Amino acid sequence: MNDAALKKALAEFVRLGNALDAEAKRRYRPNAFLFHEADGSVVLMAGDAEERHCATAERAEYIREQAAGVARWGCGAL
């Protein structure tokens, strides 16, 4: 893949992610979102548990769709 193809693919990746995030909001509610978990799962969530340090099971109740397979790219905060 050359530099131009790489830049185009990255832009398409971001566009698709934003489209999926927008679809989650349209289907479920304004605070729904696309989420990438550190374990590689990619899900559409219809919101999130209210407490910042809630149990994983509480957060999982908000999952509405989950991608097949595991994403192998990293995630984190800047």
Per-residue pLDDT of 33-58, as tens digits, reads 999 988 899 999 998 877 666 677 78
Number of alpha carbons in the 13 Å side-chain half-sphere of residue 60: 4
Angle (CA) 57-45-75 rounded to 5° is 85
Can you give the pLDDT at residue 60?
87
Average pLDDT, the chain: 90
Classified as helix, coil or strand, 14 is: helix
Is the confidence at residue 24, as pLDDT, over 80? yes
